[in-house]
Amino acid sequence: MMRKLSLLIAGALMGASAMSLVYGAPGSTANAAGSETYKQLAIFGDIFERVRAQYVTPPDDKSLVENAINGMLASLDPHSSYMNAEQAQDMRVQTKGEFGGLGIEVTMENDLVKVITPIDDTPAAKAGVLAGDYIAKIDGQEVRGLTLNDAVEKMRGLVNTPIKLTILRQGADKPIELTVVRDIIKVKAVKFRVENDIGYMKITSFTEKTYDDLENAIDTIKKQVPNDKLKGYVLDLRLNPGGLLDQAVSVSDAFLDRGEIVSTRGRDPKDVTRFDAKAGDDIGAKPLIVLVNGGSASASEIVAGALQDLRRATVVGTQSFGKGSVQTIIPLGENGALRLTTALYYTPSGKSIQGKGITPDIKVDQPLPPELQGKDLTRGESDLKGHIKGADESDTGSGSAAYVPPDPKDDLQLIYAEQLLRGQKTDPAFPPNPEKAVLNQ
């Protein structure tokens, strides 16, 4: 698949990766290390000094320490890691949902940065950047030789600072010079549209703005379609890698008026936190279908699991990723942050989806186009080396193909959901019966 990067999130798109973040409460204080532990640390210190003194070329001390820390954390599970100051800042930008930038979605093609689309009412759009433009130079520096991440990093920056882009445009007889002044770019975590008599909402990630964006989507759809004409809603969580736990809870609560949404359980059996729904269903009990696939991970699985267990929505698609762990972000001051797995989360029925995923109520496979056939697009937690073994994990494992057609007319999973809502298809799983909610006893 074409590697794609968006300046909207100021970093590599996570796609259906396992590196989603769900923040939990800080963990308990670590136990004091024993004498044997200090002996091992002394061995590490000795090796570190010998490497510094005797390695064939002088190593970088900072790099040695960072790699040693990451090696230790990688031995725990795939989601625990150390972030240096720059990486920690990138993570904060992604979860905040806004940053100083241009407002263009880009990819790398023919060693140049290609503009996929400028976002409406952003500095790039106002300056005249068009879809299909190729960025050849950034502030006079050739793009050739840069990675996509390097190019994006150069285009990010402080608000109200200018950047000069040299653009190659089809039909233009010479390069176009544009000066763009950076501004605050607010990421839209929820994309929505009306499909005649159905409201469609796609959550791309769970940032600080996701719930607010969802509320705006619901309000706009209600204004566009009279209540007596609106058949229901489709909540698309496919290719959603996760995000903030509190946002997953708020999104779930938007469609629920009772019941437990999710619980987290840490190392200490007493360390259990439960999150419950408040009264009030924002879509007025209208039918709801949730779409998932192998790219639906972490926070998106919390939402799908809660709506499924409480029989508020019918889940359609294929097996989700199966990331049921909670990572706590522990700031380390100027030295970055520690991302540490501190708990597992459980659906209202009391089941862990770690290494298992959410099993859809109605399985609908999405065929791959000819150009992708033969390629392995399956994503799942159970395939990750060193993953935490889930309580309900089986040999079947978790995950499925992480692919969604770019054109809705080819999207069989979405088409199936819309046919259910319009009564063109029937299934015992739709509509679900709230009286048969599966709760943890």
Cα dist. 212→97, 180, 401 in Å?
11, 29, 30
Tell me whether residue 298 is one of the annotated catalytic residues.
Answer: yes
Helix (H) or strand (E) holding 220: helix 210-224
Marked catalytic residue, from 137, 323, 351, 356:
323
Tell me whether residue 309 is one of the annotated catalytic residues.
Answer: yes
- Map residue 177 onto helix, strand or coil: strand
Helix (H) or strand (E) holding 67: helix 61-74
Q: What whole-number distance in Å separates Cα of residue 351 and Cα of residue 324?
A: 10
CB 368 within 8 Å of CB 403: yes
Q: What whole-number distance in Å separates Cα of residue 147 and Cα of residue 138?
A: 13
Marked catalytic residue, from 6, 205, 298, 352:
298
Query: Helices (H) and strands (E) in the chain — how many of each?
Result: 9, 23
Q: What whole-number distance in Å separates Cα of residue 205 and Cα of residue 203?
A: 6
Strands 378-379 and 400-401 come out as antiparallel
The angle, 0 to 180 degrees and rounded to 10, between the axes of the packed helices 35-54 and 61-74 is: 140
196 φ/ψ angles, rounded to the nearest 5 degrees: 60, -90
Marked catalytic residue, from 77, 309, 361, 411:
309
Distance, first Cα to last Cα, the chain = 44
Exposure on the CB side of residue 157, measured as CA atoms within 13 A: 16
Find where tokens 């978790």 sit: 398
CB 115 within 8 Å of CB 132: yes
Q: Annotated active-site positions, please? A: 298, 309, 323
